[in-house]
């Protein structure tokens, strides 16, 4: 009965079991039907990692699932909903727990990330305007950010969540400014220090809540997804207090169409522990009374292209990556490709977005900063 129901529901999304289309699902283990019926997205992802099913185009399959509205029709399982409960009750992104994401994701190994990222090591959405090449798209993204904050050589920039230092180096290298990057990933900080050694760039091993000082411009690219709804206001206060009166703050973050209190259970368990995607309502509420929201730019379609490029690079690099590290087994490969491709499908379906929001501090009589090129 469950098998028939699952098949019928997938047909709503135009997906057939053992069909001929590249987005159709080939099932190898009959237990798969019961597993995804009871565990929803968690079961779908885990069963792919376990080799229970395959699909030529996971990105297209996820796109069709989400575009059909099927997720809303199967959401009501109590066991599944309980997985979101800790995020509602607890502050999973507290200062005490803040390094969990670094330990379990960003410190997995630089060899993994460098196998699919661009030369400036941008682990966030590129900007594929007038290019199809990942490296140029990532440089275009950084230039876009620089234009929106009116970056000048005299500026001292704070980069909250500075990764491997690529954005900081690019700013210093191409715009001549000084940059301070804050991060809690020891692997990233160690590499970033060497990567930016010849430039006016410094890094601090600090949780964002501990950052002090005064800066002309502030950017945070791909970090706000780890802040959590209980801390959005705190994050905005830190940015406000660290920015000079005439400064500009740019927030670059994946976002949800609806205000949520948790993250997808599979993503949270295997990729981004305690992650949470903010809605625009949550962002604006957190900034209210502290900042003027000057501009919002949705780059969601560019993240689809970024993720597909990352997956191509990952697949090409896999043989050498797997040969050099015993931690990267076949189950890990399936987990990582499922992560990249399912996220691409989610952006394609416009289930999630990528926003660049520009903020200024309110000064009576001040002119609006020119932040959209």
- Let me know whether 32 and 176 are in one domain: no
Examine residue 317 and state whether it is found in any structural domain, yes or no: no
- Let me know whether 159 and 68 are in one domain: no
The confidence score (pLDDT) of residue 106 equals 55
- Let me know whether 24 and 167 are in one domain: no
Residue 45 contacts residue 65 (beta carbons within 8 Å): no
Range of the domain at 343: 100-306+335-360
- Let me know whether 173 and 271 are in one domain: yes
The confidence score (pLDDT) of residue 108 equals 64
Q: Which residues are catalytic?
A: 343
- Alpha-carbon distance of 12 to 90, in angstroms, equals 37
- Let me know whether 10 and 40 are in one domain: yes
Residue 302 contacts residue 248 (beta carbons within 8 Å): no
| 90 contact partners, CB below 8 Å, separation of at least 6 | none
Examine residue 330 and state whether it is found in any structural domain, yes or no: no
Examine residue 327 and state whether it is found in any structural domain, yes or no: no
- Let me know whether 47 and 139 are in one domain: no
- Let me know whether 181 and 128 are in one domain: yes
- Alpha-carbon distance of 209 to 44, in angstroms, equals 36
- Let me know whether 58 and 201 are in one domain: no
The pTM of the full predicted model, rounded to 2 decimals, is: 0.90
- Let me know whether 186 and 249 are in one domain: yes
- Let me know whether 58 and 118 are in one domain: no
Q: What is the pLDDT along the chain (373 residues), one digit of tens a residue?
A: 789 988 988 999 999 999 999 999 999 999 999 999 888 889 999 999 999 999 999 999 999 999 987 766 655 443 433 333 343 333 334 444 444 545 555 556 789 999 999 999 999 999 999 999 999 999 999 999 999 999 999 999 999 999 999 999 999 999 999 999 999 998 899 999 999 999 999 999 999 999 999 999 999 999 999 998 999 999 999 999 999 999 999 999 999 999 987 778 898 888 888 788 999 999 999 999 999 999 999 999 999 999 999 999 999 999 999 997 778 999 999 999 999 999 999 999 999 999 999 999 876 667 778 776 5
- Alpha-carbon distance of 27 to 40, in angstroms, equals 16
Examine residue 90 and state whether it is found in any structural domain, yes or no: no
Examine residue 326 and state whether it is found in any structural domain, yes or no: no
- Let me know whether 128 and 158 are in one domain: yes
- Let me know whether 21 and 163 are in one domain: no
The confidence score (pLDDT) of residue 103 equals 55
Examine residue 149 and state whether it is found in any structural domain, yes or no: yes
CATH for 222: 3.40.50.150
The confidence score (pLDDT) of residue 75 equals 53
Into how many domains does the chain fold? 2
Examine residue 10 and state whether it is found in any structural domain, yes or no: yes
Single out the residue in 23, 55, 82 at which a domain terminates.
82
Examine residue 130 and state whether it is found in any structural domain, yes or no: yes
3-class SS string, 41-108: HHHHHHHHHCCCEECCCHHHHHHHHHHCCHHHHCCCCHHHHHCCHHHHHCCCCCCCCCCHHHHHHHCC
- Alpha-carbon distance of 328 to 331, in angstroms, equals 8
Single out the residue in 50, 82, 114 at which a domain terminates.
82
The confidence score (pLDDT) of residue 71 equals 66
The confidence score (pLDDT) of residue 265 equals 87
Residue 256 contacts residue 278 (beta carbons within 8 Å): yes
């Amino acid at each position: 009965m469950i098998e028939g129901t699952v098949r019928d529901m997938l047909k709503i999304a135009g997906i057939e079991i053992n069909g001929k289309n590249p987005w159709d699902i080939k099932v190898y283990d009959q237990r798969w039907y019961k597993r995804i019926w009871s565990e929803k997205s968690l079961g779908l992802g885990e069963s792919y990692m376990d080799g229970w099913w395959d699909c030529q185009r996971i990105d297209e399959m996820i796109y069709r699932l989400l575009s059909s509205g099927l997720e809303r029709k199967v959401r009501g399982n109590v066991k599944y909903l309980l997985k979101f409960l800790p995020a509602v009750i607890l502050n999973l992104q507290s200062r005490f727990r803040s390094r969990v994401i670094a330990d379990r994701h960003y410190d997995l190994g630089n060899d993994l990330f460098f196998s699919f990222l661009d030369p400036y090591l941008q682990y966030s959405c590129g900007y594929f305007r007038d290019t199809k090449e990942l490296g140029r798209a990532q440089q275009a993204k950084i230039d876009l950010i620089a234009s929106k904050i009116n970056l000048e050589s005299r500026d001292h920039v704070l980069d909250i969540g500075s990764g491997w230092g690529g954005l900081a180096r690019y700013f210093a290298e191409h715009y001549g400014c000084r940059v301070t990057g804050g991060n809690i990933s020891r692997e990233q900080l160690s590499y970033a220090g060497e990567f930016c050694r010849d430039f006016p760039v410094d890094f601090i091993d600090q949780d964002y809540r501990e950052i002090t000082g005064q800066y002309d411009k502030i950017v945070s690219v791909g970090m706000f997804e780890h802040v959590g709804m209980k801390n959005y206001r705190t994050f905005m206060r830190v940015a406000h207090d660290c920015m000079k009166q005439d400064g500009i703050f740019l927030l670059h973050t994946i976002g949800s169409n609806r205000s949520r209190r948790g993250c997808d259970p599979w993503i949270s368990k295997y990729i981004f522990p305690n992650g949470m995607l903010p809605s625009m309502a949550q962002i604006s509420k957190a900034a209210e009374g502290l900042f003027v929201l000057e501009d919002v730019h949705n780059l969601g379609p560019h993240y689809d292209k970024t993720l597909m490029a990352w997956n191509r690079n990952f697949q090409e690099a896999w043989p050498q990556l797997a040969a050099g590290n015993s931690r990267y087994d076949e189950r890990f490969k399936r987990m990582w490709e499922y992560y990249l491709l399912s996220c691409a499908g989610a952006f394609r379906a416009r289930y999630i977005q990528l926003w660049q929001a520009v903020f200024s501090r309110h000064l009576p009589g001040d002119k609006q900063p020119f932040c959209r090129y």
